C-alpha cells in the first residue's frame, strides 16, 4: 500500500448508551480503489460509515482526508470533503424529473431566483454521458428502472465532485444485468480516481469488483488487506469468527406426525417454488441474507400477503389462507419481525397486547372480563419472566426483550399448533435472547411445530433441528442442525454455492 491514502480513519471508538459499538477501528482507503467493508449485521459497518458521513461523532479517534485531519461534525462537512453516501434505500424523489433530482437542494438559479432549467439539463446530460448512459434529463424518475435510480444517485455524487462514494448494499434490488452495469460503472469511476467503499454481504460480487477489504466483527477490526490474495472462504471465516459458542439448545426429541406441508409455493418476484414439510415437535430454521424472500414467504403463509400460488396442507387438509384470521383458525401463529411496526400496539396496555389475538378467551356473554385477562397475564408474567411493575402501562414503556415476551405470550394464549418466529431476538439483550431460545425449545418439546426465521446463522444453528438456506427467493440448501456449520451456510446464503440438484 502507498503511504498517502485518500482517506484514513484511525482508532475510532464509539458507544451508544454505554454499549461499545466500535472498538479501536481503523480504515484506510486509497485513491481510486474499491474497498469492500464486510461484516455481519450488527458488526458496526453502518456506525463506522455514519461517523465518516458526519451523522455520528466518534468518542475517540480521528478522520484524515488527503492526510489532513478533518472533524466530521455534521453531514455537510463530510459532503464538502467530497464524501457521498448512497444508501440502501435510494433517496430519489420519484415524482420529480431526473434533472430536478440531480440538483435537489442545490438548484442553479439566475439573479432573480428563477431556475435555470436548460443549464441543469445540460449538466445532467454531461454527467450521465461520462457514466456512459443516455437518459433524458426531463424524464420522470418514476418511469425509470431501479438501476437507473441508482445511476442518478451516483451521478449526483459525481456532480458534487465527490471523491469517495460509499455504497451500502447497492445490488440488493438489482437484476443480474443491472449489477453488471453497476460494476462497469464502478470500474470506470475507479479509473477517474474516485474511491469507493462498497458494503455488501455478497462475497462473489466483492471478489469480482473490489480491490481490498476490511472486515469488522462485533465492532472490532478483524482483518484487512488486498482482495487478490484472499479467497471467499477465509473472508467468511473472518466475518463469522471462530470463537462462537457451538452449544446447541435444542434436543433431539422425537417428532410427531407431519402437521404442515408446503408445495410449489411461488409469488412473483418474492419467492419461487418453495417446498417443505413440518412435523410436530420440530424446529425448522430458515436463514439467508436480507432480501432472500423468507419474510415474504411466511407473511404469505400467514395470510398477510395474498398473491401467491401453490399448495398448503395443514394436518393433511388443503387450506387457503388469505387473511391472518384464517391462519389463526388453521392453527398458525406468527411473531413478526420489526416488533415496533408489526407486533406491538403501543397505545394498548401490556395486558391488552397479550390478549389481543384471543379475545374469545376473556369474554363471558359478550363482554370482556378484566380479571380473567389479569389472571392470565400473571401466568405468562411468571412463565416467561416478563419484567413489568404494573401491567396496565402501555407496552412501549417496556424494554425490547420484555415487549417480545408479551408478543410471544399473545401467541401462546392463541394456542396454535404451529408458531412462526421471524427474527425473534431482534434488538433485545443477551439475557432475554437466551430466555427466548429456551422458550422456543420448550414449545417444541411440548409438541408444537416451530419455524424460526433469522439472518443470524449462529442463532439458527443453536435452536433448530433442520435448517433451510434461502437465496433470492429460493431454498438453496438444507442442513441438519447437528452437522450445519456457519461458513457453509454463508456460502449458500451469499449465492457463492448452490446445491446442484433441485431440492425438495
Partner 1 sequence: MANIDAKEYSTKPSTTKSRLSWLWSEYSVIIAFIVIFIASAILNPRFMDLNNQLNILMQVSIIGIIAMGMTVVMLSGGIDLSVGSVLALAGVISVLALNASGSILVGIFTALLVGSFAGFLNGLMVAKGRIASFIATLGMMAGARSIALYIADGGSVSGEVAGFTAISNSDLWIFDVPVIIFLAMTAAVFVIMHKTRFGRYVYALGSNEKAALLSAIRVDRIKIGVYTLIGSLVGIAAVIETSRLNSISSSSSGAQYELDAIAAVIIGGTRMTGGRGKIIGTLFGVLILGILNNMMNLMNVSPYLQGFVKGLIIIIAVVFQKRE
Contacting positions for partner 1 (CB under 8 A): 16-17, 19, 21, 41-42, 44, 46-47, 302, 304, 323-325, 327-328, 334, 336, 341-348, 352, 355-357, 359-360, 363, 366-368, 387-390, 393, 396-402, 410, 414, 427-429
Question: Closest distance between partner 1 and the C-beta of residue 299, in Å?
Answer: 8
Question: Which C-beta is closer to partner 1: that of 131 or that of 344?
Answer: 344
CA gap 50, 78 in Å, rounded: 10
CA gap 360, 362 in Å, rounded: 5
CA gap 356, 364 in Å, rounded: 16
User: Cα dist. 488→49, 134, 248 in Å?
Assistant: 29, 42, 17
Question: Which C-beta is closer to partner 1: that of 258 or that of 348?
Answer: 348
Q: How many CA atoms lie within 13 A of 427 on its CB side?
A: 11
Question: Closest distance between partner 1 and the C-beta of residue 357, in Å?
Answer: 5
Question: Which C-beta is closer to partner 1: that of 334 or that of 492?
Answer: 334
Contact call for residues 83 and 166 (beta carbons, < 8 A) = yes
Question: Closest distance between partner 1 and the C-beta of residue 57, in Å?
Answer: 13
Relative to beta strand 474-480, strand 466-471 is: antiparallel
Question: Closest distance between partner 1 and the C-beta of residue 331, in Å?
Answer: 11
CA gap 275, 392 in Å, rounded: 43
Question: Closest distance between partner 1 and the C-beta of residue 343, in Å?
Answer: 6
Question: Closest distance between partner 1 and the C-beta of residue 247, in Å?
Answer: 25
CA gap 124, 101 in Å, rounded: 10
Question: Closest distance between partner 1 and the C-beta of residue 281, in Å?
Answer: 24
CA gap 147, 263 in Å, rounded: 33
Question: Which C-beta is closer to partner 1: that of 98 or that of 450?
Answer: 450
Question: Closest distance between partner 1 and the C-beta of residue 371, in Å?
Answer: 13
Question: Which C-beta is closer to partner 1: that of 313 or that of 397?
Answer: 397
Name residue, grid cell 466530521: 72
Angle, nearest 10°, between helix axes 232-240 and 486-493?
120
Question: Which C-beta is closer to partner 1: that of 271 or that of 411?
Answer: 411
Question: Closest distance between partner 1 and the C-beta of residue 460, in Å?
Answer: 20
Question: Closest distance between partner 1 and the C-beta of residue 368, in Å?
Answer: 5
Backbone angles phi, psi at 249, to 5 degrees: -85, -30
Question: Which C-beta is closer to partner 1: that of 324 or that of 458?
Answer: 324
Question: Is 219 strand, coil or helix?
Answer: coil
Question: Closest distance between partner 1 and the C-beta of residue 375, in Å?
Answer: 17
Question: Which C-beta is closer to partner 1: that of 116 or that of 305?
Answer: 305
Cα Dmax for the chain: 80
CA gap 387, 401 in Å, rounded: 9
Question: Which C-beta is closer to partner 1: that of 400 or that of 458?
Answer: 400
Other beta carbons within 10 Å of 345:
12
CA gap 74, 71 in Å, rounded: 9
Question: Which C-beta is closer to partner 1: that of 333 or that of 481?
Answer: 333
Residue 156: partners with Cβ closer than 8 Å, 6 or more residues away:
84, 101, 102
Question: Which C-beta is closer to partner 1: that of 135 or that of 414?
Answer: 414
Contacts 24+ apart (CB under 8 A), 494-498: 494/201, 494/202, 494/203, 494/204, 494/232, 494/289, 495/202, 495/204, 495/471, 496/203, 496/204, 496/232, 498/471
Amino acid at each position: 500500500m502507498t503511504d498517502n491514502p485518500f482517506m484514513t480513519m484511525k482508532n475510532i471508538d464509539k458507544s451508544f448508551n454505554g454499549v461499545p459499538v466500535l472498538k479501536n477501528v481503523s480504515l484506510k482507503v486509497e485513491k481510486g480503489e474499491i474497498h469492500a467493508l464486510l461484516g455481519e449485521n450488527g458488526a458496526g459497518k453502518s456506525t463506522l460509515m455514519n461517523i465518516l458521513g458526519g451523522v455520528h461523532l466518534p468518542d475517540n479517534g480521528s478522520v484524515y482526508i488527503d492526510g489532513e485531519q478533518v472533524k466530521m461534525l455534521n453531514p455537510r462537512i463530510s459532503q464538502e470533503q467530497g464524501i457521498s453516501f448512497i444508501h440502501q434505500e435510494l433517496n430519489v424523489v420519484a415524482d420529480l424529473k431526473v434533472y430536478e433530482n440531480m440538483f435537489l437542494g442545490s438548484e442553479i438559479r439566475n439573479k432573480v431566483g428563477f431556475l435555470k432549467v436548460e443549464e441543469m439539463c445540460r449538466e445532467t446530460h454531461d454527467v450521465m454521458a461520462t457514466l456512459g448512459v443516455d437518459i433524458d434529463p426531463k424524464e420522470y424518475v418514476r418511469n425509470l428502472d431501479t438501476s437507473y435510480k441508482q445511476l442518478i444517485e451516483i451521478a449526483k455524487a459525481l456532480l458534487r465532485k465527490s471523491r469517495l462514494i460509499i455504497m451500502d448494499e447497492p445490488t440488493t434490488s438489482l437484476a443480474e444485468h443491472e449489477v453488471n452495469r453497476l460494476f462497469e460503472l464502478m470500474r470506470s469511476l475507479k479509473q477517474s480516481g474516485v474511491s469507493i467503499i462498497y458494503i455488501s454481504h455478497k462475497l462473489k460480487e466483492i471478489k469480482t469488483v473490489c480491490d481490498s477489504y476490511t472486515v469488522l466483527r462485533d465492532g472490532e477490526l478483524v482483518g484487512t488487506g488486498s482482495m487478490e490474495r484472499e479467497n471467499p472462504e477465509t473472508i467468511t471465516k473472518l466475518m463469522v469468527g471462530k470463537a462462537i459458542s457451538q452449544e446447541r439448545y435444542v434436543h433431539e426429541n422425537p417428532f410427531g406426525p407431519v402437521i404442515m406441508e408446503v408445495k410449489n409455493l411461488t409469488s412473483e418476484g418474492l419467492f419461487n417454488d418453495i417446498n417443505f414439510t413440518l412435523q410436530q415437535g420440530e424446529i425448522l430454521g430458515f436463514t439467508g441474507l436480507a432480501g432472500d424472500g423468507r419474510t415474504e414467504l411466511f407473511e404469505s403463509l400467514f395470510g398477510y400477503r395474498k398473491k401467491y400460488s401453490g399448495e398448503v396442507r395443514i394436518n393433511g387438509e388443503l387450506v387457503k389462507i388469505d387473511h391472518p384470521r384464517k391462519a389463526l383458525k388453521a392453527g398458525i401463529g406468527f411473531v413478526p419481525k420489526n416488533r415496533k411496526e408489526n407486533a406491538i400496539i403501543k397505545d394498548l396496555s401490556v395486558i391488552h397486547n397479550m390478549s389481543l389475538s384471543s379475545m374469545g378467551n376473556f369474554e363471558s356473554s359478550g363482554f370482556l372480563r378484566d380479571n380473567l385477562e389479569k389472571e392470565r397475564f400473571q401466568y405468562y408474567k411468571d412463565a416467561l419472566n416478563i419484567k413489568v411493575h404494573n401491567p396496565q402501562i402501555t407496552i412501549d414503556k417496556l424494554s425490547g426483550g420484555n415487549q417480545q415476551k408479551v408478543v410471544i405470550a399473545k401467541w401462546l394464549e392463541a394456542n396454535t399448533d404451529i408458531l412462526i418466529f421471524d427474527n425473534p431476538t431482534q434488538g433485545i439483550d443477551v439475557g432475554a435472547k437466551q430466555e427466548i431460545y429456551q422458550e422456543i425449545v420448550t414449545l417444541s418439546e411440548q409438541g408444537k411445530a416451530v419455524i424460526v426465521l433469522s439472518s443470524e446463522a449462529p442463532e439458527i444453528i443453536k435452536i433448530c433441528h433442520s435448517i433451510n438456506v434461502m437465496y433470492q427467493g429460493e431454498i438453496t440448501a438444507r442442513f441438519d442442525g447437528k452437522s450445519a456449520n456457519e461458513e457453509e451456510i454463508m456460502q449458500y446464503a451469499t449465492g457463492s454455492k448452490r446445491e446442484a440438484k433441485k431440492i425438495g
